[in-house]
Each structure stands twice: as C-alpha cells, then as structure tokens.
Structure 1
Amino acid sequence: MTGLASKYKRGLVVGKFCPLHKGHELLINRAREASEELLVVSYTKPEFPGLDPARREGWLRAQFPQAHVVVLDDARLGVLCAARGVPARTLPHNDDDGDDHRHFMGWLCWTVLDLPVDAVFSSEDYGPGFARVLERYYARAPVAHVSVDQARTLVPVSGTLVRQDPQAHAAFLSPLVRASLVTRVFVLGGESSGKTTLSAALSAHFGCPWVAEYGRELWESQDGILVYDDLLKIGREQLRREAQAAMQAQRWLFCDTSPLTTYFYCVEMFGKAEAELLDLAGHAYDLVVLCAPDFPFIQDGTRRDDSFRLRQHAWYQAELARRGIAFVNVSGSVDERIRQVAQVLTA
C-alpha cells in the first residue's frame, strides 16, 4: 500500500456497497485518515433487492459522519443535475465498460458535484486508470491512486459473497449493517387472534428472538390505565426494543405488533393520534403476517368482544391495502400457521 504518508486535500472512494462490509470500511477509513476531506459515492444499476439507496446512505452516513456521502440512482442523479443546471444523464449499467464508469465519475465530480479530488482510494486493479481519467477531466495536478488491501488479505471478503448469504458472512458486517439485514416479520391480528402465541412459537421454531408487545406490558404496569400520551410512548418504545433485538438476531426477527397496532388503538380510544405516531405506523417490515380471527374468542379481562375483533381485523386488511403493503394471511392451528409462515420465509 502506498501514498498514506501524504495528506490529500480531498480523497474519493466509489463503490456499490451492496452491502457495506468491513472491507469497504477498511478502505473508507484509510481514505479518511489520509485526506482532509473525503467524498464517498455509491451507485449500482440495476439495484440489488433489499439494498436500496436509502439503506446504503443510512449505513454510510452512520459509519462515516464526516464524509461527504452521495448515493445515487437515476432519480437522485436527475435531482442533482437539475440543481446544478446541467443536462441530466443516467447511471452507467454495472456491465458497461470500465471507461464508461470512470468518465461518468469524472463528469459527476467535476460538473455536477463540483468536488474535484486529488486522490482515489480503491481495492481494485482499475484504480490507476481511474486516477488518469480524473486527471484529464480536471486538467490540473496529478490525481494519486492509493491501493488498499487489493489482495484481500486483511479482510478476505467481497460484496458478491456477502450478497449470496449475508448471515453466513455476518462476521464481515458491522453490527449496524448486520442488524438492518435481519428479516423482520411483523405479526398482526385482532384481539384474541393468536398473534402473541404465534410470535413466540415462530421464535422457538426458528431459534431466533422475538419482540413482545410493549403496550400490554405498560398497560399491566399502570393497572389497566393508558392515557393519550402513553400511545406515542408505546410506539417509540416498541421500535426501540425491535432495533435492540435486531442487533442480537442472526437471520429472522419476529415482532408481536408494531406502531400500526398502536395507531389503531390510539384512534379507537381517543379519536385522534399524534402526527409522529402516524409516521411510526408506516415503519416497514420484510414480511407482514395477518392472523385470521378463527380462534375461539378468549376473554382475559383486557379485551372487548368478538365483534370488535372482527372489526379490528377488517381495519387491518383495509389499512394494509390502502398503504400498498403486501401481507400473508395465516389461519388454523399454531402448527399450521408456522408452516404457512415457513413456506414464505424459506422459499
């Protein structure tokens, strides 16, 4: 590795980061240490499922808050071009010639971002040629290339390997990235529809964590009394506990309710809800499981009645459809429901 004794004004790292792994982090950290400023650019065309620009941007900004992070798709690039008043272009395809990508980056840094660089950091053999192309764009002092762990001896992994099975290569992912790649399953259902029983049973079946319903815990601790402000508290705490559990999960995480449930009860009990709770109700999951109200209704002293359960179930169906959220209906015994969920998760 060369060039790290120098202090560059602005370094550049470009990658798909699909997903961001420790090899990428090594590269970016070396670039950050050797540069006064650091520009990190991520793009891929086509996109990889579950690795959208917003998710990649979240990882990069969280792990490298001092860097100038630019994560692109064609729409985001169009917005940048419009802001700069330059003709819009589209991203090069992943299979396009390497020179197309190099010239695209030269145009992006110089014309769109107005962030010229004097060093390119990479772990690939295209790095020196990339630096020469940027020099031609800038018509200025040479652009250095700094190679970092090109032989993959320090971090023996690649994005392709991690994409094939992120959990099998979890050791090469930071806790933040690993947690965000856990498949989160939201188990939803009306009162006495078996959602808590199913959540716990799925956890036992798959050997992974589950997140219990915080609202019920708070209700019990307050002797069955909830006030309006408690509902937003419940929504926030439910997601906090979910995020905490995801840090420990290996592959799947089952969530008994979400802020969508809390939002329903808030409107049902008080006729209104805070805007933040409505926003939390849109929290996304990888799979939504809706339990059919085909269990005999059991009154445990906290529930309404069977007619309320049916109305609640209908509201969930309508609300999920209105939000464009796909869901899986499960019915029958607990074992039958487990089999129905397993068919989806292991397909």
Structure 2
Amino acid sequence: MTKYRAAKYKRGLVVGKFCPLHRGHELLIQQALDGCEEVLVVSYTKPEFPGYEPHRREAWLQAQCPAARIVVLDDARLAALCAQAGVAPRVLPHNDDDGELHRHFMGWLCWAVLKLPVDAVFSSEDYGPGFAAVLARHYASAPVAHVSVDPARTQVPVSGTRVRHDPQAHSAWLSPAVRDTLVRRICILGGESSGKTTLAGALAQQLGTEWVAEYGRELWEAQDGVLAYDDLLKIGREQLLREALATARVQRWLVCDTSPLTTWFYCNEMFGRCEAELAQLADHRYDLVLLCAPDFPFIQDGTRRDDSFRLRQDAWYRAELARRSIAFVVLEGPLEQRVADAVRVMEGA
C-alpha cells in the first residue's frame, strides 16, 4: 500500500519562453507538480519567435502538462487579464530587459493580476534564488522558496536556445506532440492532369523531404478502376494516417499530394452523398495549400475524364477553399517555375 505524501508547497511557479517546449521544461514542470498542491506555469516572450506563437505554446503546455494552470501571454492577452482583474494595464518586458524587471513583473502578475501568490519557484537557472526573493517582497508575507531542478542539465542535456535554433537537430528532446506540430504540412491540390503529383515529387526533392502519395489513386489501380462507396471513407482515413506516419520521419516540411477534401469531392461526385466522418476529415487543415492551375494541355492517360471536368474541378477547388476560409496559392507555368514560386511562398511563411 502506497503511503500518501503531502505536497511540501501550496503553489509552485514555473516561468519560461517554452519556444519550443522540450523535455527539460517538462521535467521542471513535473518536479513542481510532484512537490506542490498546485502549479502555475507562465509563458511569455517579447518579441515572439516565428513558429512559436502563443496559441501553439499554450497547446503544447496543455497537452503535456494538463495538471498545471497554464497562462501564456502576449500584450493583448495581458491587457485582457488586467481588465478582468481591474488593474492598470502594462506591457510585457522585452527579452533584453534587465532580469530584475522581469522578476518584479512576475511578482505583480501573480499577486495583482492573477491573484495567485506562490510559495515556491522552480527553475534550472542560477537566478532562481534572487527570483524567489523578489516574489517574497511582493507578497510581504511568508518567504518564497527556490527549488533548483537539474541545474547542470545532466538529466536533459539541452537548452531552449539550442533547440529553438535547430529543432530538427535536437528533435530527440521534443515530445511527439511538440515535434509533430513543428513539421509544416504542404497540401497540393488540382484537377486531373494539372501536374500536382509531379509537383509534389519535385518540391519534396527540392526541400530534401518526403511526400505522401495519393492513396486513392493507388487503391483505384489495385481494384482495376473500381471504387465502392465505402472505399472513399477508407481512402480519407488512410491518407491522413500516412501523413501522420510520414510526419514522424521528416524534419521541417512534409509535402502532401492531395487531401481528404479531394476524396470528399469525388465521393459526392460519384455517389451523390458521403459519410459524416469523411466530411469531417475534409476539414483537415494544412500550413500551406497550393493549387495547380490547369494552364497546359490536358493529357489523357486512360484513367482521366476530360478537360471540361478538369476545369470544373479547378473552379470547385477555388470556390470551396474560399467558402471554408482556407488561404491558397495558385501555381502556374512550367514545373521549374511552380517549384520556385512554392519555395518563395514557403520562405515567407
């Protein structure tokens, strides 16, 4: 029988950028959870780092540390909290501001805004004792302890700065839930004979990554050109499963030749209806959607319909993506131009 051990502290505090959240951060937060009745985790950075926006950091922390109270800030979120607490708003301190300013900011935030005074602060940094002393002065009550967790980085030998500069090289220190969201998925759409599969392979080669082929085409060929109604849901599921498996193998980008949105189109086109689950799969979102324009002669390979159908597909994609408020980039011209234009868009993303 396990003997119950009371938590040593009432409320612990962990503060960080978490850009990105790595296993060292998770160790720190777990140590706080093990030693406290309640843990407050605060994340902020000014300026923000591209790819590590507040909503993404919040999702990581909530997924990996569900028992903690998560507060992820930018200036707008801070202003909303100040209004809710009835205190005069401030802006976040800059990353380059003096450490003492950051410590007093956190004391004000916990005491005046969040109304969550702490009696312990957990960190792996040498500024921890000074941080705890500043917090104690804000509360003017019981002292605030500093709990040092793996300061020599022996359990998790990595730093947030190193991971941020090259998350792929340090991906072993990222939980799958974090790592997978750092892989940007590119979806290529287009009507029949619009060059999307050729573009998918060429773009993946240019990026030094993998591409996920169109499973619907593979199944159609395996079944001698015959697809049943139930096959369409199977295609949608398998397409996303293959994307998920490929995401675990790549680093920065994953190129996807088609999406369940295409499967949803064909299901309605062929059978006049579709399963509710397939309609849900069609809502799957990507970081970038590229639409191949039908701007070269239609090539009949024995499996396609005709040019009028290709044009109708193109018009449908444009209308449907707009209806769903999904931004997309139209690629035109020869393959080399399409690859160059796609890379240019990605570099600006």
TM range (shorter): 0.7 to 0.9
1:31 matched to 2:32: yes
Task: Please name the residue that 1:284 is paired with.
Answer: 286
> C-alpha root-mean-square deviation of aligned residues, in Å?
3.4
Following superposition, the deviation at residue 16 of structure 1 comes to 0.6
Task: Please name the residue that 1:96 is paired with.
Answer: 97
Task: Please name the residue that 1:128 is paired with.
Answer: 129
Following superposition, the deviation at residue 72 of structure 1 comes to 1.6
Residues 1:95 and 1:279: Cα distance change in structure 2 (over 3 Å): farther
Following superposition, the deviation at residue 19 of structure 1 comes to 0.9
Give secondary structure in 2 for the equivalent of 1:69: strand
Q: Which amino acid aligns with 1:28?
A: I
Following superposition, the deviation at residue 68 of structure 1 comes to 1.4
Task: Please name the residue that 1:119 is paired with.
Answer: 120
Q: 2:227 aligns with which of 224, 227, 233?
A: 224
Give secondary structure in 1 for the equivalent of 2:229: coil
Give secondary structure in 2 for the equivalent of 1:124: coil
Would you say the 8 A contact 1:299–1:305 is kept in 2?
yes
Task: Please name the residue that 2:164 is paired with.
Answer: 163
Task: Please name the residue that 2:334 is paired with.
Answer: 332
Whole-Å Cα distance in 1 between the matches of residues 263 and 204 of structure 2?
22
How many residues are matched?
A: 339
Structural mapping, 1:1-347, within 5 Å: 7-204=8-205, 206-216=207-217, 223-226=226-229, 230=232, 238-262=239-263, 264-265=265-266, 270=272, 277=279, 281=283, 283-285=285-287, 287-299=288-300, 303-317=304-318, 323=325, 325-327=327-329, 329-333=331-335, 337-342=338-343
Q: Which amino acid aligns with 1:241?
A: R
Would you say the 8 A contact 1:258–1:281 is kept in 2?
no
Would you say the 8 A contact 1:263–1:278 is kept in 2?
no
Render the CA deviation track for 1:41-75: whole Å, top value 9, x for unaligned.
11112211111111111111111121111112223
Residues 1:104 and 1:261: Cα distance change in structure 2 (over 3 Å): farther
Residues 1:31 and 1:46: Cα distance change in structure 2 (over 3 Å): same
> Percent of pairs identical after alignment?
67
Residues 1:111 and 1:265: Cα distance change in structure 2 (over 3 Å): farther
Whole-Å Cα distance in 1 between the matches of residues 257 and 194 of structure 2?
12
Structure 2: stretches of 5+ with no match in the other structure: 1-5
Would you say the 8 A contact 2:186–2:286 is kept in 1?
no
Following superposition, the deviation at residue 261 of structure 1 comes to 3.4
Render the CA deviation track for 1:198-217: whole Å, top value 9, x for unaligned.
32344455453322334445
Q: Which amino acid aligns with 1:115?
A: L
Residues 1:239 and 1:77: Cα distance change in structure 2 (over 3 Å): farther
Would you say the 8 A contact 1:235–1:277 is kept in 2?
no
Residues 1:280 and 1:109: Cα distance change in structure 2 (over 3 Å): farther
TM-score (norm 2): 0.81
Give secondary structure in 1 for the equivalent of 2:147: strand
Render the CA deviation track for 1:160-192: whole Å, top value 9, x for unaligned.
222222212223322222221113211121122
Q: Which amino acid aligns with 1:190?
A: G
